[in-house]
Structure 1
Amino acid sequence: MDRAAYSFSYIEKLDRAETVEVVGELLSTAGKNFGLEHVIVAGFPATKKQLDPYVLLHSWPKGWYDRYISRNYLQVDPVIRELRSTTMPVAWHEVPYCPKNDKCAHAVMMESREFRLQGGLSVPIYTQSGDQAGVSFGGSRYELGAEDRAALHLIAIYGHARALALKQTKQNASQADGRKAPRLTAREVEVLKWVAAGKTSDVISDILLISSTTVEAHVIHACRKLDVVNRTQAVAEAIRAKLIA
């Protein structure tokens, strides 16, 4: 499977989704195609606040979701702790913690397995304004390669953006999909198109006959205008805003 083509085909499907429920179904299907049967999309509230009001959608096993909320596991979950300190996807089995010294964190990791959540991938999402959220895919097995992780990373970012936009529209809080698209320069758009194609700054600099430093500057400027913090988010938001195809 061409993972890049798969990601973009899924973005097109998400873009056509007209309800948060449909977004959830699409994300669940995407996860299942990678062996991860369950998904949750949620904002990260401030310390000591409950997670439940910030959940946009989920297909977590009911027993686990109820336990996680009632015991406020958000405050001790080592995966959430890791997501708050990185911009890259996190595989659950790679999360650093000491089972002996951090028994609460260990309890979260072990108890999730009772509900066939043996492994998963979680994607942190940030905006320039400081809001934090995450998308987690979980299931009974975890067998993702680097390209699989990259594909789910992009799908997760776009899925979150689409679900949030639909929720805001429904609540009449903001016509998110109808807001004015950010104004990128022609060069910024061109650079993002090559980023979307998987090219590094060095390769893009050779293609466009500019320095890699200039490429990085264009990416940084585009990120600021799009209110995102990394390349993957910039590509997803640019596609959402129909700045690139």
Structure 2
Amino acid sequence: MNTTHILQHALQLANAATIEALVNLYRTAIHQFGFSHFIVTGLPSQSQRFENLVLERFWPEDWMSHYLSRDYIRRDPVAIASLVHSGPFTWREASRRASEFSSAGDRIMREAADAGLKDGVCVPIPVRNALAGCISLAGEAPITQGRLGTRECPLSHFR
């Protein structure tokens, strides 16, 4: 994918007339890199409920229900890394760091993989009325590191 192609996608996103159109364009754009799912969310403080901070998502329903019922947000390696990183990172990086401290993170990541969220990237973002926030992209086999063939990870140039 070249720069012109990326700019064309950006212009389409900027000109979307509705949130639904924007989400559909975004899903099409990220699919080219192997990402089939995404979530845009705030990260809760102790007194907040995670489900109230989700801004937009295209996430497997079964996984979301399971995740919420077990309050995984408090132990999720990707969510925890989003609180301390200012730039994009891969799920693999977050998982590797978390496994040094606890096995709960490993279990969460294995269960996410079973739900079709095998790997991903996360971009921390500010979210009003939340500790922090993130845009997390995931899929069965997304491109998350450098170059693979002629396709390049969309976040690799931010590192």
**Length-normalised TM-score, structure 2:** 0.82
Q: Distance in 2 between matches of 1:68 and 1:152?
A: 31
CA RMSD of aligned residues (A): 2.6
**Count, aligned residues:** 151
Give the 3 Å change call, closer, same or farther, for CA 123–53 of structure 1 in structure 2.
same
Partner of 1:10: 9
CA contact (8 A) 1:7 1:152 kept: no
Q: Distance in 2 between matches of 1:85 and 1:66?
A: 26
Q: Distance in 2 between matches of 1:115 and 1:152?
A: 29
**Higher alpha-carbon Rg:** 1
Task: Give the secondary-structure state (helix, strand or coil) at the position aligned to 1:143.
Answer: coil
Partner of 1:80: 79
CA contact (8 A) 2:45 2:131 kept: no
CA contact (8 A) 1:20 1:57 kept: no
Structure with higher helix content? 1
Q: Distance in 2 between matches of 1:130 and 1:61?
A: 23
Partner of 1:108: 108
Partner of 2:57: 58
CA contact (8 A) 1:21 1:57 kept: no
Question: Gapped runs of 5+ residues in structure 2?
Answer: 147-151
Give the 3 Å change call, closer, same or farther, for CA 151–104 of structure 1 in structure 2.
closer
Query: 1:136 aligned to 2:141?
Result: no
CA contact (8 A) 2:39 2:58 kept: yes
**Relative contact order (alpha carbons < 8 A, sep ≥ 6): 1 or 2 greater?**
2
Structure 1 residue 26, shift from structure 2 partner: 1.8
Percent identity of equivalent pairs? 27
Alignment of 1:64-213 (within 5 A): 64-95=63-94, 96-98=97-99, 101-126=101-126, 132-146=132-146, 147-150=152-155
Q: Distance in 1 between matches of 2:50 and 2:41?
A: 8
Give the 3 Å change call, closer, same or farther, for CA 12–119 of structure 1 in structure 2.
same
